[in-house]
Amino acid sequence: MTEHVNDGPQGAQNTQGALQGIKVIDLSRVLGGPYCTQALADHGAQVIKLEPPGGDETRGWGPPFYGDTAWYFAGVNRNKQGIAVDLSCDEGRDILWKLLEGADVLVENFKPGTLARWGMDYERDLRERFPKLIHCAVSGFGPDGPLGGLPGYDAAIQAMTGLMSVNGERDGAATRVGLPVVDMVTGLNALAGILLALAERTKSGRGQSIDIALYDCGVSLLHPHLPNYFGSGRTPERSGNAHPNITPYDSYRTATAPIFLAVGNDRQFARLCAHLGAPELADDPRYVDNRSRCAHREPLKAALEDLLASHDCEPLAQALINAGVPCGPVQTVDVVARHPHTRHRGMVIEMGEYRGTASPIKLSRTPATYRSAPPTLGGDTREVLNALGIDTATQQRLLEAGVLKA
């Protein structure tokens, strides 16, 4: 079912998350960093997001808009307290120093060298003052090397790391993957790095710095293309929906809509052929094993589409997957959002007007919780500063000076 904040899995909203007691200062913007810190927040960490007074630029990445804020921003910023502070001035950085006094994790995606110019370099300044602090820096290319310090956005990294070169139709142009896969995997790698550092800290009592580069994450996604290149010396090419190492692993025409067959072994192939009324196809020497099938891709695809032409996609997909053949209809996003299994898995959550994608991490004792919608710009500034002991007069002076926004 769609999970409302008060009717999720039994006790979920009253459960202390796995990261309860961990305090995260989130200076990151756009997607990779915020995606990471939302995952930390979903699992119980206190996340305080600092934005410049003008806001994270993705607040304007619409339509559609959630109030005055783009849904793009809303998709990766729930469960966070939001304050707006100008870190380019000393008084703004004074607030950040106070926040770091009780922090476990600092996440930032400034251009490398920015914190150092502010007197907040990890090795030089933060490590000595906050020896238990875990610092996670997300950047385009890392701080050094031939491309070090240069800016990077997802699509440009997709182009530069070869992802676009292997995505698209065989005779078509290199194509961007239709979602920000590099940014999202970067966020997941940042999450993994932070969790590793937290685990190590329980033994050493010390924090450390984590260097996560979009470029590295893009390169890490090149499976199986890099292994294939290492083994053959041949530059991988685009193959459309077809898998470069497995067949049948492609989309196929039916009487209605395309079906994607993901047949990973000979047993599944035999089941597919039997279900389609052509068991002899599995014994054909051209198709007897995956190596043979890959050598005869085109005649096999033609033979399968001839058999599939008399079947409607939806009932066929249901019958095949129940028979043990991995497959599925090619569905649109609106269908996925309404799908009974999406609802059953609690993958859509609602909090008032907010709707979001739930955490896919299902912990049995300490599940994710959904406690607050994404913050308005500066919506928690006064509450957070009050907790830091900053008096009302000082807050008002900083607001009038443009250092803060509330």
CATH value at residue 315: 3.30.1540.10
Residues 120 and 46 in one domain: yes
For residues 366 and 300, membership in a common domain is answered with no
pLDDT at 16: 85
- For residues 112-138, give the mean pLDDT: 97
| Tokens standing for residue 309 | 């032409």
pLDDT given for residue 14 in this prediction: 59
Determine, yes or no, domain membership for 159: yes
- 209 and 103: one domain? yes
Q: Of 313, 329, 345, which one is at a domain's C-terminal end?
A: 329
pTM of the model: 0.92
8 pLDDT more than 60: no
What is the mean predicted confidence (pLDDT) over 119-128?
A: 96
Structure tokens at 395: 């807050």
What CATH number is attached to the domain comprising 372? 3.40.50.10540
pLDDT tens-digit readout, 90-110 = 999 999 999 999 999 999 999
Residues 34-73 have pLDDT tens digits of 999 999 999 999 999 999 999 999 999 999 998 899 999 9
Residue 5 pLDDT: 63
Contact status, residue 1 vs residue 84, Cβ threshold 8 Å? no
Q: Over pLDDT 70: what percentage of the chain?
A: 97
Spot the catalytic one: 26, 42, 86, 183.
183
Q: What's the pLDDT band for 228 if we cut at 50, 70, 90?
A: very high
> Is residue 183 annotated as a catalytic residue, yes or no?
yes
- 153 and 275 assigned to the same domain: no
279 and 381 belong to one structural domain: no
Say whether both 152 and 297 belong to one domain. Answer: no
Final residue before a domain boundary, out of 291, 312, 329: 329
Going by C-alpha positions, the residue among 352, 258, 340 that lies closest to residue 305 is 258
- Segment 141-172, tens digit of pLDDT: 999 999 999 999 999 999 999 999 999 999 99
pLDDT band at 13 (very low <50, low <70, confident <90, very high): low
**169/263 same-domain check:** no
pLDDT at res. 66: 87
Coil vs helix vs strand at 46: strand
Task: Based on the fold, state whether residues 112 and 156 are members of the same structural domain.
Answer: yes
Contacts by 227-235, CB closer than 8 A, 24 or more apart: none
Q: Are residues 173 and 50 part of one domain?
A: yes
What pLDDT, in 10s, does the model give residues 311-323? 999 999 999 999 9
pLDDT given for residue 10 in this prediction:
38
Instruction: Check whether residue 158 and residue 68 sit in a common domain.
Output: yes
Does residue 381 belong to any structural domain of this protein? yes
Question: Could you say which of 329, 364, 386 is where a domain stops?
Answer: 329
- Give the domain range for residue 380: 23-222+356-405
Mean pLDDT of the 392-403 span: 96
Please state the domain count of the chain: 2
